[in-house]
Structure 1
Amino acid sequence: MGKKKWIKTLVVGLLLTLISTYFYTVSSSGLFYFVEGPLQDNLRKAKSIDERQPDDRIKIVKIDEKSLSAIGKFPWDRSTYAKVIEKLEQSGVAAIGIDVVLAEPSKNPADDKALADVLAKYSNIILPIQINYPSKQKQAGDLVPETIDYPSSTLTTKSNQMAHINVLVDKDGKARKLPVGLPDIKGSYIPAFSVALANLVLDEKEKIKRDETTGEWMLGNTIIPTNERNQVTTEFYTQPRQKVDASTGYEMLSFVDVMNSTKPLPLKGSIVLVGPFVTAMQDEYPTPISSVKMFGIEIHANMIQTLLESKFYKDASRPLGVGSILLISLLAIFLFDRYRGKTALFIFIGMFVIYGGIWLAFYTVSSIFIPLIYPQFALVSIYVWSLVSHYLEERKERNRVTGIFGRFVSKTVVDELLQSGEDVKLGGSRKDISLIFVDIRGFTPMSERLEPEQVIQVLNEYLDVCTKAIFKFNGTLDKFIGDGVMAMFGAPIEYDNHPEMAVRAAIEMKSQADILEQKLIRNYGIGVKFGLGINSGPAVVGNIGSEDLRLDYTAIGDTVNLSARLESNAKPGQILISEQTYERVKGLFEIEAIGEIKVKGKEKPVAVYEVIGHL
């Protein structure tokens, strides 16, 4: 490929790469999040039961229909929560999370005091903070609160006993990630409910905290892979509303059963989450693992286990993602420019599958999701461009070859060679054709009287007349022979009426030559005429010559020879045809019999006819 074409390919390829990179970086999850996200979801859902073993330390106390029926309409008295907390503490739990917003003071101060006393007595209790955001932020990606609902001041909750319970959903409305911390109105970070509860059971060196210098969230010495919204991917170990089973779900207890228990429950060392488990309380979210919504308390439970096990399935860094797009794109640009056809198709399929394998390997080995759709989008775009580009190049080259080659032989010959898709080879086939030989009578005397430039000009005008007439009637211009022309009809494209077409072409040449002769007489005082011979019959038509150096598409045989002999016997302005041609065109033209003449190469005289013109 020429340098200019290579530069064009490189520029277009890089442009497609930039488009794919833009789609990847346009937002936190990219433009094709609706494809990329579900692919990641399906991969994560494919885990076995053994890989999804729920942590038996995590328990859920449900505010369910049974509890609402027994205790009464919600909201409940704060003393109710105080009673349940006491029961749980007596059972030796490690941490308690109350997932019920208690922002307003109770109508009965005694209720608030009962809960406040419990909170003061035990330091392992976390109450929720609800951060409220405006419907639209000033800038995309911002998380500036509009209001924040803290626990009521009447509860005298300590700052280390509060954490946010916000669940931020992706663009498709599904909860995949939880923010480990969110800024308050002053910019200070409030830890997540799950983070605060996990910290109550983690060793001091393993506790989760924010590095104020770098802004990174750390689990001990390990960086938690959060995005720009401080979110980390949640690993789901249970299905929504999972029935209690030691192997498939967190153990669940009804709120009223805990409250009415008369002896300690088997909850020693457990992390207990207390929260709504009824649809009417509107605390449920779509998740990627099921079409059934999951209650917020279940999402927090899964997030706690994610943090405790440090299983973070993270997205690749932007530089790594952009690098993968660039690498695939540059390789595709080079290969698709170099190869085409089936080879290019196999390369495309191979690259597509191999990159899919690399994507899967990154996930399996390193728990990293490198971009899948964006590099493959670039790959597909560049491949499609290469198909279009190669097609346009081939069309351009075809037109160029047809234009150049068509000046020397008939365009029908070029078309047949190009459409066949085969190499030009020596050899031919026997065909029934008609041949015209044309010669300019009086050309030699004229050339002696005119300047060389004038001779060439006159010759070109006469040959132009012949060529146009031949092509007009679908003939093939075989060759120029000095001041003569050889043409055939019926090859390479076969026509049943090729003798008629040959005669019509001859009449056209004669009439146009008469007009040209008058012009020459006016300009130079001398005129010339055509002598034409036509014969029809079998001949071998094909490529003759040197296979490596030069081939000539022509016809050979006795039919050709007789046509040439008829032309040599034709007088100026005369069209002579053989008996074979006459038998096929009689009745179509005005023809007169001349009789038999002796021609070179024939032992017996041949019958000859003169075409006078159209009927």
Structure 2
Amino acid sequence: MLRRKWLLTWFAGAVICLFWSFISSLGTGGSLNRLESSLQDLIMKKTDVQRVPYDDIKIIKIDQDSLDQLGQFPWDRSLYAQLITLLADAGARAVALDVVLAEPGQDPQGDAAMTEVMKQYPNVVLPVVINFKARQDEVNGLLTESVSYPASTIGSSHEQQGHINVLQDKDGTVRKLTVGLANQEGLIIPAFSVKLANYMLDKDEQITWNQDDGHWYRGLKRLPTDSRNQIATEFYTQPREAMSLVTGYDSQSFFDVLSGNIPPEYYENSIVLIGPYAPGLQDEYLTPLSTSLKMYGVEIHANMVQSLVAGNFYTKTGPPVTYTLIILLTLFSLLLFERFTGVGSFIVYGVLTAAFFGIWIGFYYMNTFIAFTYPFLALTTAFIWAVVTHYVMERRERSRVTNIFGRFVPRTVVDEMLASGEDVKVGGQRRDISVIFVDIRGFTPMSEKLEPEQVIQVLNEYLDICTKAVFKWNGTLDKFIGDGVMAIFGAPVDQPNHPELAVRAALEMKRQSADLEERCLREIGVPVRFGVGINSGPAVVGNIGSQMLRLDYTAIGDTVNLSARLEANAKPGQILISEETLARVSGLFETVTIGEIKVKGKELPVLVTEVVRERDEDSAKNLTAIKEGREGA
């Protein structure tokens, strides 16, 4: 049985592991993966104290005020050339224009001005846009269809170009920086932010692409990019930070800088990003910081630059680690759930959940993301399976015990005990009870005349009559003693009228055995009849015996002994009751006083009375009245 239980447990563990491992392998979409992403967003979110944007990263906003002053898009490119010249001459470390210039401008003079700027200032970066194929054949790859470079009329070199693609997750949120993307020929184009970050990093810390091994490096340290060349980016500002009370990246209006309201020297030795900062320009994205308020693309690039310079990169473990976590957590939890049941299993589940969450946070502080959702769901599934299994097994065991106990106690008594919620305690309790002993008179002569099989048949019929009578009057069958029976009334469930019930059960035996006595007399010539003894009073009732090996529910004490002595003195067909029992059933039955008799174990004679019949009342009516009284109570 135990071996079968453990086989079932390990089988369930294998099914749980396979199921959640399979679900976790289906891809990056779905609500469960969004939940995983939301947890990462939550733990990466910084407080106002932690969010400290770099002072030397500045933004020049193409905002609504600039549009009102300079006109709607597209602007003449000479405006960009004029502003970039002011910034570069003032000593800006690098200037990045986050405006796509893929087509020649309407005014050739504007393009010519930009061409001169690009030649004179190599620290100017222009955007490249990668256009992906609508159908991606590779699960994790990114296939390029075309590339939108700056117009040839501008004449920027490859060293002055960086892609500005901001890739969103399935839920439309930007969480990752795509360090580099390949063009149609497979050559890698670094990100806009990579180009700018290198202007802030020392020479030995530069971010580079190693064509030989196909990996990105920051100095000699390999970046933990995924198969799409992406890494998790941190955000140091809130969306539209300038609208809040918290300071974000230093940002000024394009028109204010161009018109001289902000002196160009203000940007000396700074990284300057110029980009759209107005809702109508459609350059906004959701970030992990808000599910509703979007962040402008130019500010996302600024955050990516700082994330690259800070070098606090996070590694996301792959499927093998996730599968391992699922297996370990499932099997270990099932092992514990088999050891601890009931409230203990809930405590174990809580401890395991808290411990796993703590481990998850611990890995985060080591710049590593391990999967949380799928291992946690595997743990929860194992917990639910264990609880349901324990419940089913307990119900099955309860049913089995109830059925076994129901052979000794009437079903009504069993139901009443279960409904009361009281435990049948190991050991003994002092209870007021009535004890009935029944023995077959003439059993030995009968055994000598019949075959063993016939003796067993007759004995079973007599014992069946006794058992049914005891159960009918809500007694507890204590034990069979050879050809005799011991029964208890008033335990394990209290019965205030237990003496009456015991006497009625004895009369029931006497009535029901009449046909069997007549048949035995006719067939074997031996009158086989009952002798009954009943006594009432205090006794120790409970589970008595060896706690490790065997326990019997029984009663011990002088009350029990006297009942057995009365049965030994009863003649065939005679029901003898003690003086104590007589006092409690007085007026209910017709009785005949036998007188005082000497019994073994008693120094003084005891007064004995024989019960003849009920006193002018129908047994069925009495039975109904007693049952109604018990149900009413």
Q: What secondary structure is seen at the aligned counterpart in 2 of 1:266?
A: helix
The residue type paired with residue 332 of structure 1 is: S
Matched, 1:440 2:440: yes
The answer (yes or no) to whether the contact 2:131–2:145 under 8 Å persists in 1 is yes
Q: Which residue does the alignment assign to 1:307?
A: 308
In structure 2, relative to structure 1, the CA distance for the partners of 1:329 and 1:30 (3 Å cut) is farther
- Correspondence for 1:424 among 423, 426, 432: 426
For 1:160-239, what aligned pairs fall within 5 Å after superposition?
160-185=159-184, 187-202=186-201, 205-239=204-238
Q: TM-score, normalised by structure 2?
A: 0.83
In structure 2, relative to structure 1, the CA distance for the partners of 1:561 and 1:360 (3 Å cut) is closer
Query: Matches of 2:180 and 2:203 in 1, distance apart?
Result: 19
1:611 Cα deviation after fit: 1.9
In structure 2, relative to structure 1, the CA distance for the partners of 1:526 and 1:224 (3 Å cut) is farther
Q: Which residue does the alignment assign to 1:61?
A: 60
Deviations 1:116-158 (A, max 9, x none): 3433443333222333457775665453456654433443443
The residue type paired with residue 334 of structure 2 is: I
The residue type paired with residue 32 of structure 2 is: F
Query: Matches of 2:392 and 2:80 in 1, distance apart?
Result: 76
State the number of aligned residues.
Answer: 608
The answer (yes or no) to whether the contact 2:125–2:162 under 8 Å persists in 1 is yes
The answer (yes or no) to whether the contact 1:98–1:127 under 8 Å persists in 2 is yes
The answer (yes or no) to whether the contact 2:520–2:528 under 8 Å persists in 1 is no
In structure 2, relative to structure 1, the CA distance for the partners of 1:463 and 1:414 (3 Å cut) is farther
The answer (yes or no) to whether the contact 2:436–2:502 under 8 Å persists in 1 is yes
Query: Matches of 2:270 and 2:14 in 1, distance apart?
Result: 56
Cα RMSD after superposing both structures = 3.8
Matched, 1:323 2:324: yes
For 1:284-299, what aligned pairs fall within 5 Å after superposition?
284-290=284-290, 292-299=293-300
1:320 Cα deviation after fit: 3.6
Q: Which residue does the alignment assign to 1:40?
A: 40
Query: Matches of 2:544 and 2:330 in 1, distance apart?
Result: 47
Query: Matches of 2:47 and 2:607 in 1, distance apart?
Result: 97
In structure 2, relative to structure 1, the CA distance for the partners of 1:133 and 1:506 (3 Å cut) is farther
Query: Matches of 1:414 and 1:97 in 2, distance apart?
Result: 83
Q: What secondary structure is seen at the aligned counterpart in 1 of 2:127?
A: strand
1:470 Cα deviation after fit: 1.6
Query: Matches of 1:244 and 1:379 in 2, distance apart?
Result: 44
The answer (yes or no) to whether the contact 1:244–1:251 under 8 Å persists in 2 is no
Q: What secondary structure is seen at the aligned counterpart in 2 of 1:32?
A: helix
Matched, 1:594 2:596: no
The residue type paired with residue 102 of structure 1 is: L
The gaps in structure 2 that reach 5 residues or longer are 622-633
The answer (yes or no) to whether the contact 1:94–1:268 under 8 Å persists in 2 is yes
Larger mean CA deviation between 219-228 and 602-611 belongs to: 602-611
Matched, 1:275 2:272: no
Q: Which residue does the alignment assign to 2:379?
A: 379
Query: Matches of 2:488 and 2:425 in 1, distance apart?
Result: 23
The residue type paired with residue 478 of structure 2 is: D
Matched, 1:473 2:467: no
Deviations 1:324-366 (A, max 9, x none): 44333343233333344565555444443333333333222x2
Query: Matches of 1:520 and 1:17 in 2, distance apart?
Result: 68
Q: Which residue does the alignment assign to 1:611?
A: 613
1:271 Cα deviation after fit: 2.0
For 1:516-527, what aligned pairs fall within 5 Å after superposition?
516-517=516-517, 524-525=523-524
In structure 2, relative to structure 1, the CA distance for the partners of 1:268 and 1:363 (3 Å cut) is same
The answer (yes or no) to whether the contact 2:439–2:532 under 8 Å persists in 1 is no
Larger mean CA deviation between 150-159 and 166-175 belongs to: 150-159
Query: Matches of 2:297 and 2:130 in 1, distance apart?
Result: 15
Q: Which residue does the alignment assign to 1:483?
A: 483
The answer (yes or no) to whether the contact 1:61–1:254 under 8 Å persists in 2 is yes
In structure 2, relative to structure 1, the CA distance for the partners of 1:88 and 1:603 (3 Å cut) is same
Q: Which residue does the alignment assign to 2:455?
A: 455
Q: What secondary structure is seen at the aligned counterpart in 1 of 2:265?
A: coil
Q: Which residue does the alignment assign to 2:89?
A: 90
The gaps in structure 1 that reach 5 residues or longer are none
1:299 Cα deviation after fit: 0.5
Q: What secondary structure is seen at the aligned counterpart in 1 of 2:597?
A: coil
Q: Which residue does the alignment assign to 1:7?
A: 7
The answer (yes or no) to whether the contact 2:539–2:560 under 8 Å persists in 1 is no
Larger mean CA deviation between 315-324 and 566-575 belongs to: 566-575
In structure 2, relative to structure 1, the CA distance for the partners of 1:213 and 1:9 (3 Å cut) is farther
Query: Matches of 1:176 and 1:147 in 2, distance apart?
Result: 24
- Taking only the aligned residue pairs, the percentage that are identical comes to 48
1:232 Cα deviation after fit: 1.1
Query: Matches of 1:551 and 1:315 in 2, distance apart?
Result: 59
In structure 2, relative to structure 1, the CA distance for the partners of 1:87 and 1:429 (3 Å cut) is same
In structure 2, relative to structure 1, the CA distance for the partners of 1:501 and 1:146 (3 Å cut) is farther
In structure 2, relative to structure 1, the CA distance for the partners of 1:375 and 1:586 (3 Å cut) is same
Query: Matches of 2:334 and 2:552 in 1, distance apart?
Result: 40
1:162 Cα deviation after fit: 3.0
In structure 2, relative to structure 1, the CA distance for the partners of 1:422 and 1:443 (3 Å cut) is closer
1:82 Cα deviation after fit: 1.9
Deviations 1:24-52 (A, max 9, x none): 44434886344333333333334563x54
Query: Matches of 1:330 and 1:604 in 2, distance apart?
Result: 68
Q: Which residue does the alignment assign to 2:337?
A: 336
Q: Which residue does the alignment assign to 1:258?
A: 257
Q: What secondary structure is seen at the aligned counterpart in 2 of 1:555?
A: strand
Query: Matches of 2:467 and 2:574 in 1, distance apart?
Result: 18
Deviations 1:444-468 (A, max 9, x none): 2221111122212321232122223
1:429 Cα deviation after fit: 0.5
Query: Matches of 2:591 and 2:342 in 1, distance apart?
Result: 59
In structure 2, relative to structure 1, the CA distance for the partners of 1:470 and 1:180 (3 Å cut) is same
Larger mean CA deviation between 535-544 and 342-351 belongs to: 342-351
The residue type paired with residue 498 of structure 2 is: H
The residue type paired with residue 610 of structure 1 is: V
The answer (yes or no) to whether the contact 2:122–2:160 under 8 Å persists in 1 is yes
Larger mean CA deviation between 316-325 and 468-477 belongs to: 316-325
Q: Which residue does the alignment assign to 2:625?
A: none
Larger mean CA deviation between 69-78 and 492-501 belongs to: 492-501
Q: Which residue does the alignment assign to 1:497?
A: 497
In structure 2, relative to structure 1, the CA distance for the partners of 1:248 and 1:316 (3 Å cut) is farther
Q: Which residue does the alignment assign to 2:158?
A: 159
Larger mean CA deviation between 473-482 and 530-539 belongs to: 530-539
In structure 2, relative to structure 1, the CA distance for the partners of 1:598 and 1:35 (3 Å cut) is same
The residue type paired with residue 272 of structure 2 is: V
Query: Matches of 2:20 and 2:344 in 1, distance apart?
Result: 25
In structure 2, relative to structure 1, the CA distance for the partners of 1:422 and 1:582 (3 Å cut) is closer
